[in-house]
Amino acid sequence: MNGVSPLVIKVGGSLAEAGRLGGTLEMLSAAQIPIVIVPGGGPFADAVRSLQREIDFTDAVAHRLAMLAMEQMAEWIVSQRPGLKVAHSVDEIADCIMDGQIPVWAPLRMIGDDETIAADWSSTSDSLAVRLAELLGGRLILLKSVDVADDLSAEELARQGVVDRLFPEIVARTGVSWSIFGPANDAAVAAILAGEGAD
């Protein structure tokens, strides 16, 4: 990344359903530090789950389709704010940042065949965001539509269904530094994006 280790920010698809996505994107667009947005699959991923029941395809196929759902959300997010651009690779992410844009990650081309990620519903955009942070050498923030206690472990968050089942395993394996924020933490997130309180 040419010395740049951007902050990876996973934007939960549930923020759209909670009516918080617009405000969140406005806040992210004002970032004074390099960031990469990882979109959740949102309603597009829900459609994959529904279709899997209706027309019967394997979890491995569903995994790839769910990544395409993230790419659909990326396209929608980019359409909402100026200065955002879909990025498919480390090079494209780096180019966006160098050009003063905010990359929104489309994961399929980059990690569609990544053997460190389970090709089933145990891994969602949460775990994919950890993998991206590992590849970029950055830290990770998860933005969720619900507030969570700040002392919960990855294992407890997975048990509560706040993050996916693979998340504790992949953060343990990668050693990626991560934080999770809900609606009550917008001021803290804004401070991080302004370059304050980076630890």
Q: Kindly report the CA angle at 129 between 170 and 159, in degrees rounded to 5? A: 55
CB 13 within 8 A of CB 40: yes
C-alpha span between 164 and 179 (Å, rounded):
15
Q: Whose structure tokens read 């619900």?
A: 146
C-alpha span between 148 and 146 (Å, rounded):
6
Sequence-distant (6+) residues with CB within 8 A of 170 are 116, 117, 123, 127, 130, 131
Number of neighbours of residue 191 by Cβ within 10 angstroms: 13
C-alpha span between 120 and 60 (Å, rounded):
6
CB 56 within 8 A of CB 90: no
Predicted pLDDT at 199: 46
Predicted pLDDT at 149: 87
Beta bridge partners of 105: 87
Instruction: Give pTM, 2 decimals.
Output: 0.93
- Report how far apart the first and last C-alpha atoms of the chain are (Å, whole number): 21
The residue among 170, 61, 94, 92 whose CA lies nearest residue 126 is 170
Predicted pLDDT at 3: 59
Q: Kindly give the residue spans of alpha helices, DSSP state H, lying in 81-185.
A: 90-98, 108-111, 125-136, 154-159, 167-174
| Residue 77 burial (10 A CB sphere; 0-12, 13-18, 19+) | buried
Q: Running along the chain, 199 residues long, what does each successive block of 10 average in pLDDT? A: 80 77 92 96 92 94 94 95 96 96 96 90 93 95 90 94 94 95 92 79
Q: Which two tokens mark 138?
A: 């950055």
Tell me, rounded to whole angstroms, the distance of Cα 146 from its chain centroid: 16
Predicted pLDDT at 60: 93
C-alpha span between 73 and 100 (Å, rounded):
21
